[in-house]
Amino acid sequence: MNATSTGALLLCRADPETVRPLAHLLREQMLLARAGEEWSVLVPEGKPWNGGAEQDPEPVDRILGGWATALAVGSTWPVLALWWDADRAGFTLAAGFRRPVGYIWLTDGTPVGEDEALRTFAVRLGLDPVLDVQALEELTRPDPDADADARLRGLLAVLTRTGLTLPTGLSPGESADRLRSVAAVQREVDRVEWAGWRDAVRVELDAVESSRIGPWVRGPRARAVAAAQLAAGLPLLLWGARRRSGGWAAAGAVLLAQGVLGLVYERARAGADAS
């Protein structure tokens, strides 16, 4: 790896139609493609980890962790962030409001994470507690022939048993530019772009109406969930903004949006039922 090979992928255990509304709320330009029967992949079009004119660079793992958390807290499906840079590679798995788990390897493949993280990873994704866990444990043992890229490919190989099939070319170790160009030519790829809160709200509500699924339910539980999202979202948004962490600010923004949308949806449906 070198400094230009920094890259990242977001793997969502849901179809693209389900992922698209929440992906809009990240307020980032991304390419969305199918990655198997039960999975979708989001490929960032930009490189926020390089920083901008008015902000310092932010580690790619921190940005991806924030994005994964933002998507997971607003959904009923887990999100796996894969990332790599010149020094390390690793993953972050986010699922609902539970604490994310992750693992890191140095560029030469040296494991520096905790074995318990991979066992938790297996449980949250419903992997085989014997065969799959054994395969994951192999990734935590010294292997002079396996660098960080190979470790992540080994992780993906285990996930093929859950139906994950990444398009050819979307592979750990590739540069962000290469990942973007590969994703752009995939069949039925969708470009996710931020078009403002009004369109984001409309897209999200349309998705809920058409699917009848999502993080919201009707009645007291819906209101309680929405209130919890609002209570958690505001401090997280402020914390992310104060630290100039785009990923965690996005997580707070998504929580706030989900809380507001939950209350709006509940009130709108209640009004429709009354009439």
Query: CA-to-CA distance for 50 and 131, rounded, in angstroms?
Result: 39
In angstroms, the Cα distances linking 26 to 182, 194, 231 are 22, 8, 19
Q: Which parts of the chain register pLDDT below 50?
A: 1-3, 207-208, 210-217
Per-residue pLDDT of 11-69, as tens digits, reads 999 999 999 988 887 888 999 999 998 999 999 999 989 876 556 678 999 999 989 98
Q: What is the pTM of this model?
A: 0.77
Backbone region of residue 111 per phi and psi (left: phi > 0; alpha: psi in -120 to 50; beta: other values): beta
Assess contact for 164 and 39: CB atoms under 8 A: yes
The alpha helices in the chain, defined as continuous H runs, are: 16-24, 60-73, 115-124, 131-138, 148-159, 176-184, 197-211, 220-242, 246-274
pLDDT at 148: 96
Query: CA-to-CA distance for 138 and 172, rounded, in angstroms?
Result: 18
Query: CA-to-CA distance for 64 and 86, rounded, in angstroms?
Result: 16
pLDDT at 69: 87
- CA angle, corner 117, sides to 216 and 255, nearest 5? 25
